[in-house]
Structure 1
Amino acid sequence: MLILVINSGSSSLKYQLRELHDDGTDTDNPIQTSGLIERIGVPGSGVSNHTQALDVVAKELDEVLDGRTIDAAGHRVVHGGERFKAPALVNSEVIRAIDRLAPLAPLHNPPATEGLRAIRDKWPDMPQVVIFDTSFHQTMPQEAWRYAIPDQWYIDHGIRRYGFHGTSHDLVTGKTAALLGVQRSALNGMVLHLGNGASATAIRGGQSVDTTMGYTPLAGLVMGTRSGDIDPSIITQLVTAHGYTAQEVARVLNHESGLLGMTGHADMRPVLEAAEHGERNARAALDVATYRLAKYIGAYHVAVGGADAIAFTAGIGENSAPFRARVLDRLAVLGVEYDPELNDARSDEPRLISTSASSMAVAVVPTDEEMAIAQDTFRLVESSGAWCQGTDAYSTS
């Protein structure tokens, strides 16, 4: 069983061909091939749009398929708004609905629908499934997702907290419960997805009840190039008093802020190295980033009614022991204790790094969004009986 996983960014297309057993679980060698096409639409790149990018993908898949066929495609879509609360089988109405949500994610939803249409045109009988970053957070109560703005702004424009990284937060919630040996419905805690983009989610009863990202992925934690939380009056002041355009401010806050804006580095590794060598801006950036994250953890401890666990995941969360230590040191006031040797150890498996005396378990849990998308795709196509009956309807040759 071969599932093609597609992640269409604003100017990139990441793909992975994944092999599953007939029950939807990974085989011993699940990743058959993967790749990333970048600079889509950039002059001189040779790839003018996502349709052309999928032509490149099809040619690359030809080299590994060796006569086999792709059984389904699963797509990550950033924004499902309030329309999509779960993965959905793709049809024309679903594509149109994602198009209508483009104002909420103008850089991401249009490329996603372009990819959906391109695969439909190339392989019209192949079932496709869309998995939304926002779906997992649809369980948030109104007190968490509602902004204190005029009601009409929400009604007319959909302005509310949506949250993102939902596929990762969902997967890691389940893995953390399994690691602790409890039912998912009994898990209360925080999942910290810390990469170039970063978000924390409060988990109560195994479900999302609050999250740091908001109407867009700009809100919340300090990220590689994104500012996270700022006073909204800063934007109006820059526009009205200092001559910036709204587009310039948006560009700076999304692409030139965060770690990059404070240190010149968007990657956590050189920031940590610079801080170790006494570089003042790097130390300041780490202080701001760890303080803000610890502050949210404290708030979410209240939101979940007392947390049992903290799970670190994604690139920084999984791989940066020094950053984890800086965050956990701030949580000693909550009774959190960790073992430095366990924190420094490396593993590809979920593991605990807290001591037996810690007030809550601290775990490092690898995420795998492509695996989650492939398995969600399999389950929905299987339960819907939507597998194509043809033997070669969606081979690339």
Structure 2
Amino acid sequence: MPTTSPKSQHVLVLNCGSSSLKFAIIDANDGHEIISGLAERLGADAPSIKYKYNGAKTVIELGANQAHAEAINTLVTLIKDHNLDEYLTAVGHRVVHGGEHFTKSVLIDDAVIEGITKASSLAPLHGHANLLGISSAQNSFTGLPQVAVFDTAFHQTMDEVAYLYALPYKLYTDYGVRRYGMHGTSHYYVAGQTAKLLNQPIEQSNFISAHLGNGCSVCAIKDGKSVDTSMGLTPLAGIVMGTRSGDIDPGLFNFLTTQLDYNAKQIDNLLNQESGLLGISELSNDCRTIEEAAVAGHKKAQLALDIFCYRLAKQIAAYMVPLQRLDALIFTGGIGENSDIIRANVIKQLGYLGLNCDEQANLNARFGTQGIISTSDKIPKAVVMPTNEEWVIALDAANIVKEL
């Protein structure tokens, strides 16, 4: 039986990927996770659900080829078995792409489903999975409000000089081709937490946030609002990622099709699944594996890390143009929170900004620990700030339900 109170606002948060489902029940008031887990390898031979409840970790094996709907059905049973369903007030869904239509979190209805469907073409793998998760949750939790929280919403404050591409303007007006950006809930959360850490109003804070994981993006935050970000129309653009190339010469498409006889599907797979850290190292997309190999003398692993850090530092430097003044550089995400090697390398390349890495503080800031890792008391500071996108989703869902 969970610990609760009349004021508790427990929200089931669902984050559906193409072959996975991350979930948690969170008290929106304080971010406390009642239960959390991950269903993975959905649609494959050996799918499973791993979850943590009351400090105990459990694995549920699913039948072969079971997908999102079956995983959510199993999750419903799990929630009821632990008597957690009576405390739920809403279901919050992470939706990767909201296009221009969605500038904030919304209660899901038929019109919202239609809007998400239209935007899903801009992030096909994520969009389809998000819609599957919403449909399955609506069928399983018929009495609960369902709320969509968009990765792109935080970036809707960007000016057109930042979000427009230098393409024929009608591609924007007729088809919505522009920079949207992702990881908005993460950038929003860590900016607010860093402002608290530095004891300054978010409305007067200028940050550069680097969300680094298998997917990576950098965001320029001026006076608490996103003014530029590295991901674009889709999550493929920007800096080097785990398996994604990041920015490339668009002429590559013509070269691949005319010289190497690639088709569109092969190019998409090349840029999204075979590139990035994996493509350069020819070893792995996991930064931990690459770091270990680099220490052992693997030259391509070291090259992958060097390219990753160089492109990241260059992107951070570029965002001094819209910001002019920087209060803090924020590292977050799986790599950003845990790789002292990446952080030290990037900070070293940005020394001209006045940043210097405190070696011990940098080593200490791992495994969910926040802190300042720069040596000087002066501005700007380098900060490690663990992200909590799930709490943002829960809080947004709870606030919308309050207004019903």
Give 1:320's aligned residue. Answer: 339
Would you say the 8 A contact 1:337–1:358 is kept in 2?
no
Residues 1:67 and 1:134: Cα distance change in structure 2 (over 3 Å): closer
Residue 254 of structure 1, CA deviation: 0.5
Would you say the 8 A contact 1:175–1:350 is kept in 2?
no
Residues 1:277 and 1:369: Cα distance change in structure 2 (over 3 Å): same
**Residue 362 (str. 1) matches residue 367 (str. 2):** no
Would you say the 8 A contact 2:244–2:272 is kept in 1?
yes
Would you say the 8 A contact 1:161–1:213 is kept in 2?
yes
Which deviates more from structure 2 when the two are superposed, residues 103-112 or residues 124-133?
Answer: 103-112
Would you say the 8 A contact 1:12–1:39 is kept in 2?
yes
Residue number among 359, 365, 371 corresponding to 1:351 in the alignment: 371
**Residue 15 (str. 1) matches residue 15 (str. 2):** no
Which deviates more from structure 2 when the two are superposed, residues 342-351 or residues 370-379?
Answer: 342-351
AA aligned to 2:347 is: L
Residues 1:227 and 1:67: Cα distance change in structure 2 (over 3 Å): closer
Map 1:321-340 onto structure 2 (within 5 A): 321-340=340-359
Partners of 2:81 and 2:130 lie apart in 1 by 25
**Residue 267 (str. 1) matches residue 269 (str. 2):** no
Partners of 2:226 and 2:286 lie apart in 1 by 28
TM-score by length of structure 2 reads: 0.90
**Residue 95 (str. 1) matches residue 113 (str. 2):** yes
Partners of 2:180 and 2:22 lie apart in 1 by 24
Which deviates more from structure 2 when the two are superposed, residues 155-164 or residues 73-82?
Answer: 155-164
Residue 158 of structure 1, CA deviation: 1.3
AA aligned to 2:394 is: A
Residue 269 of structure 1, CA deviation: 1.2
Residue 113 of structure 1, CA deviation: 1.9
| SS of residue paired to 1:68 | helix
Residues 1:329 and 1:42: Cα distance change in structure 2 (over 3 Å): same
Residues 1:99 and 1:160: Cα distance change in structure 2 (over 3 Å): same
Partners of 1:100 and 1:360 lie apart in 2 by 41
AA aligned to 1:365 is: M
Which deviates more from structure 2 when the two are superposed, residues 331-340 or residues 141-150?
Answer: 331-340
Partners of 1:66 and 1:119 lie apart in 2 by 16
Map 1:40-189 onto structure 2 (within 5 A): 40-42=42-44, 46-65=64-83, 68-189=86-207
Residues 1:314 and 1:360: Cα distance change in structure 2 (over 3 Å): same
Give 2:298's aligned residue. Answer: 279
Would you say the 8 A contact 2:365–2:373 is kept in 1?
no
| SS of residue paired to 2:82 | helix
Residue 283 of structure 1, CA deviation: 1.6
CA deviation profile, 1:10-48 (whole Å, cap 9, x unmatched): 12211111234xxx333xxx2222222223334675344
Give 2:14's aligned residue. Answer: 6
**Residue 203 (str. 1) matches residue 211 (str. 2):** no
AA aligned to 1:308 is: D
Residue number among 29, 36, 39 corresponding to 2:38 in the alignment: 36
Partners of 1:157 and 1:43 lie apart in 2 by 39
Q: Which structure ranks higher in relative contact order (CA pairs < 8 Å, sequence separation ≥ 6)?
A: 1
Partners of 2:294 and 2:46 lie apart in 1 by 38
AA aligned to 2:287 is: M
Partners of 1:82 and 1:35 lie apart in 2 by 31
**Residue 25 (str. 1) matches residue 21 (str. 2):** no
| SS of residue paired to 2:319 | helix
Residues 1:66 and 1:151: Cα distance change in structure 2 (over 3 Å): closer
| SS of residue paired to 2:86 | coil
Partners of 1:133 and 1:66 lie apart in 2 by 28
Residue number among 305, 321, 333 corresponding to 2:324 in the alignment: 305
CA deviation profile, 1:278-337 (whole Å, cap 9, x unmatched): 221112111111111111111111221221110111111111111100111101122211
Would you say the 8 A contact 1:338–1:358 is kept in 2?
no
Residue 346 of structure 1, CA deviation: 3.4
Would you say the 8 A contact 1:179–1:350 is kept in 2?
no
Residue 156 of structure 1, CA deviation: 2.2
Residue 353 of structure 1, CA deviation: 1.1
Name the % identity: 44
AA aligned to 1:367 is: T
Partners of 2:389 and 2:209 lie apart in 1 by 14
Residue 239 of structure 1, CA deviation: 1.1
Q: Which runs of 5+ in 2 are unaligned?
A: 1-8, 48-63
| SS of residue paired to 2:383 | strand
Would you say the 8 A contact 2:186–2:389 is kept in 1?
yes
Residue 129 of structure 1, CA deviation: 0.8
Would you say the 8 A contact 1:3–1:72 is kept in 2?
yes
Residue 246 of structure 1, CA deviation: 1.1
